[in-house]
Amino acid sequence: MIFLKLIILLGILMLITAMFTYLERKILASVQLRLGPNVVGYHGILQPFADGIKLLCKQILFPKRVNKILFIAAPIWTLTCSLTIWLFIPLHIVEPLMQHDFSLLIIIGLQALAAFGTCIAGLISQTYFSKLGALRNIAQTMSVKICSLLCAICVGLFNNSFDIAKIADNHFSAWLLPIAYIYFCCCLAEDNRTPFDTLEAEQELVAGYHTEYSSILFGFFYISEYLNILCSSVMISLLFLGGYHFLFLSDSVIWLAIKILLVASLVFLTRATLPRYTFRQIMQIFWLILSPCAMLFLVAEMFFRI
């Protein structure tokens, strides 16, 4: 029974991830006054599946003198961590597949572990572009994870629990809006999204840590990125926007789906409108602005609880 649930969950995640790529391309096209995908399927809705088939059919290329085991293991590790997170996320009103009292902190830890795959991928590749992307990934992950952990602690203390299933039972609170904004910025940086996507800045690094990857191995990184966007949208909806609740109406998964779409659309619109920060600016933003603000909010919350 559990195995069947895992297969169904995997299929749903892959389908939603494919639709997220389509949604992003349509939103970007709308902002930039283009058509976007409009050939494969009705209004181009089958374009993500065509892209997936194309990746499967391409040849896997390996750089010279590369450790093939690590080269293959890196994207698999990243995708595995991105999928494991979903075992702890409540996708419906009943309990998630894996219940834990500290599931929120476990999710934060799994997101940090996923960064090891991208770091290994960049360091094991035989190009300076990939290695520079990996070094940026290490520095950015350390700064972002400290900030997101502070946000998670604030949410856990406010709800008297670090179990995301119990947190999702609570309604929207305006008190957590500053933390919601900080956590949203952390999610953008963790997911390598504009304006914090210097790990794969094409103007500087060609493609960053995955410059030497092709075919399905590149596809694993690509799927992981959009899985993380979906995960971030779900986390923000559950932690800060009331999850399945909406005003005084009955709880429904429809409310959660609407909130996820709104948050994901905001992520895509951010890519379409904001320019990329330099790496120095990103470090300053997280170390000198967002992390101290999250720490001050945590101290204030502890003070009021006393």
**pLDDT in the model for residue 96:** 67
Do the domain assignments include residue 13? no
Contact status, residue 237 vs residue 170, Cβ threshold 8 Å: no
Burial 101-123 (b: 16+ CB within 10 A, else e): ebbbbbbbebbbbbbbbbbbbbb
Q: Is the pTM of this model over 0.85?
A: yes
Do the domain assignments include residue 276? yes
Do the domain assignments include residue 73? yes
Number of structural domains in the chain? 1
Mean pLDDT in order along the chain per 10 residues (306 residues): 79 90 92 88 89 87 86 92 88 66 89 88 85 86 90 91 86 87 93 84 77 88 91 92 81 87 93 87 92 93 78
83 Cβ neighbours under 8 A, 6+ residues apart? 10, 13, 227
The amino acid that residue 115 corresponds to is A
3-state SS, one letter per residue, for 86-143: HHCCCCCCCCCCCCCCCHHHHHHHHHHHHHHHHHHHHHHCCCHHHHHHHHHHHHHHHH
250 Cβ neighbours under 8 A, 6+ residues apart? none
Q: Is the CA virtual torsion 41, 46, 49, 54 positive or negative?
A: positive
Do the domain assignments include residue 103? yes
Contact status, residue 137 vs residue 122, Cβ threshold 8 Å: yes
Do the domain assignments include residue 42? no
**pLDDT in the model for residue 95:** 58
Do the domain assignments include residue 158? yes
Cα-to-chain-centroid distance, residue 102: 20
- Note the pLDDT tens digit of each residue in 114-171: 888 888 888 888 888 888 888 888 888 888 999 999 999 999 999 888 988 888 888 7
Backbone phi, then psi, for 17, in 5-degree steps?
-60, -45
What tokens appear for 32 in the block? 């930039």
Do the domain assignments include residue 296? yes
Alpha-carbon dihedral 193, 197, 201, 206, rounded to 10 degrees: -70
Do the domain assignments include residue 29? no
Choose among 104, 117, 256: nearest CA to 192: 117
- Note the pLDDT tens digit of each residue in 81-96: 999 998 888 876 445 6
Please give the residue range of the domain that contains residue 110. Answer: 58-305
Q: What is the CA radius of gyration of the chain?
A: 19
